[in-house]
Structure 1
């Protein structure tokens, strides 16, 4: 049996890692990369780069057509699958929605725009329609009111990884049943559904709808919402009734405005990521606490993949580190190279001989066995560099 993974990003990279982990031979794994995969890690890891590191065979889609004992799994794949060209019928896809809802595109935007309370990921059979195949299994998760488009994409990715891992053995052993998608409740959206080149917030709606617009269109790797000259981080619905025309605003401060809608005012906050990262570097706990009270997300990252916890950890800003851990920042956040928070903590511990951040992070759930995108773990780095103090510290954890 040959197993082909087509796609990109974290889900595809972790899929090939997991196949090897469960004992699938490298000779039985084929990788089909997206056309835009430049073999460079960025805000998401590159499947092509990962496959080459693991010495897996990279093939073109056409090379899969004649393989009879093929299992093909599409994981954010960018090419259309025409089932009649395949000799195998074992063709699957993980789609980012709870099918039959949101077939097509923009699944990180539309559920938020529509005010959905839940979303999920679906493993389904590929047929000749667009995300219309029979369902094998699904998993759902809640959509909190402060979740934005980037956060939803991240939730999809994490849940898709888990769904793949929990389902792949059943797929390979042909131990599954299908459920046809229902027609009632089915929705589809094409690329023409939204125009991301011309995003304008419509304030002639309720505060809830305005808030949903702002968070739905907030996806930092690609865009943030702009209202006139104001680049927006996030919004919060106030308890104050609007008394002026929708769309009018009052400047509360350089970084905060209140906009009127058809019912309640909405607080709109300017993007302050750079200031947050500077405060994390300087151990400015008061500034970080103030931003937390205003609803700023500490999961947002700059172009290098650094978030507040990574920066605070690297600079040994122990007060900020503890606060961010306590408010549920991601203890296993990684930068664009897959370098984890704990790896940054190790770097500063070697320099300062201060292991407080490492100890606090491990105690609260940071993973020691995480591997970066080059395939190396914290322990391997410590051994390679002869960091005796780190090795001794880890022995006593």
Structure 2
């Protein structure tokens, strides 16, 4: 089939790989390059970089609904369009262009976790199960009919980054399976159950700010949900300190939240509002991520030192 692929970040790449191997991907549509670093140098999204390396034309429209993009898409004459983490809302006239419509990968078990940050939210909430939904894209926000859905465990120590890669791999296989059904007319459309809908919002830097008065479980989930971005943070000596890895220490503590109650070979045990967290890796301002054992050799913490809220 002739396919136009819509996607922007790394999570979209596994689907693009498989599609390009089996179908005719005539073009890729992704968001515009973003300025990066102090010099604000334009940086190509991962999907654009891969497409250009493999000779696939790339479109990066700044406007989607002025008629110009719709005319371009009609000229491409796709049988179907596949959308994976494109990051922009498409209106109905565009959705009606491909002969077989738009197929969308959403990394949650819809109708749970509709919206822009389903993986972050599942990890932050401490969900024990997640999955991928392949759906028919409509003009709503993740409201289309479900074509295929598969679940997988969400381990208690998994980060957003780790789950994103696993879900991307599973989802790519599901996209291929769904397209076979769409092409031969056997796809089954299942309406979403409106009584089970939950919504997510866009994650922000502030979502990484640690409040040590929260229970250890909440802080632990926040830390792993914030990897790779924004990375959970607190303050120490009035400087930001980022926490890259921690586990729950199930023990009764009698210290102010944020206090380092003891130092083990490879971890700082820090009091929270309930129980403690065992911090294994940190990042001081202007420094690389370091294991606590390595950090202690040059800038040792002491029991009784206190982290403040982020």
Q: Specify if TM > 0.5.
A: yes
Query: Alignment partner for residue 235 of structure 1, among 242, 246, 257?
Result: 246
Would you say 1:211 and 2:231 are equivalent positions?
A: no
**2:92 aligned partner:** 83
1:37/1:2 Cα in 2 relative to 1: closer, same or farther (>3 Å)?
farther
1:36/1:156 Cα in 2 relative to 1: closer, same or farther (>3 Å)?
farther
Of Structure 1 and Structure 2, the greater strand share is in 2
Cα RMSD for the two superposed structures? 3.0
* Contact 1:95 1:122 (8 Å CA) reproduced: yes
TM-score, with structure 1 as normaliser: 0.59
Query: 1:340-359 to 2 correspondence within 5 Å?
Result: none
Query: Alignment partner for residue 134 of structure 1, among 126, 130, 145?
Result: 145
**2:179 aligned partner:** 168
**1:116 aligned partner:** 127
Would you say 1:32 and 2:29 are equivalent positions?
A: yes
Query: What displacement does 1:11 show?
Result: 4.9
* Contact 1:71 1:172 (8 Å CA) reproduced: no
Query: What displacement does 1:255 show?
Result: 6.3
SS at match of 1:166: helix
* Contact 1:66 1:87 (8 Å CA) reproduced: no
Unaligned runs of 5+ in 2: 36-40, 62-68, 295-310
- 1:201-237 residue CA offsets vs partner (Å, 9 max, x unmatched): 1232322222112211221xx4422221333221121
Would you say 1:244 and 2:255 are equivalent positions?
A: yes
**1:54 aligned partner:** 54
**2 CA distance for matches of 1:150 and 1:178?**
31
SS at match of 1:137: strand
Runs of 4+ with >4 A deviation: 65-69, 272-276
SS at match of 2:182: helix
Query: 1:230-309 to 2 correspondence within 5 Å?
Result: 230-252=241-263, 256-271=267-282
Query: What displacement does 1:100 show?
Result: 0.5
1:98/1:247 Cα in 2 relative to 1: closer, same or farther (>3 Å)?
same
Aligned residues: 267
- 1:130-186 residue CA offsets vs partner (Å, 9 max, x unmatched): 011110011211111111122122222222222223322222223201111111221
* Contact 2:14 2:168 (8 Å CA) reproduced: no
Unaligned runs of 5+ in 1: 280-397
**2 CA distance for matches of 1:243 and 1:119?**
36
Of Structure 1 and Structure 2, the greater helix share is in 1
Query: Alignment partner for residue 150 of structure 1, among 140, 161, 173?
Result: 161
**2 CA distance for matches of 1:275 and 1:235?**
13
1:233/1:35 Cα in 2 relative to 1: closer, same or farther (>3 Å)?
same
1:30/1:173 Cα in 2 relative to 1: closer, same or farther (>3 Å)?
farther
SS at match of 2:48: helix
* Contact 1:37 1:48 (8 Å CA) reproduced: no
1:67/1:152 Cα in 2 relative to 1: closer, same or farther (>3 Å)?
same
**2 CA distance for matches of 1:15 and 1:157?**
7
**2 CA distance for matches of 1:249 and 1:239?**
15
SS at match of 1:51: helix
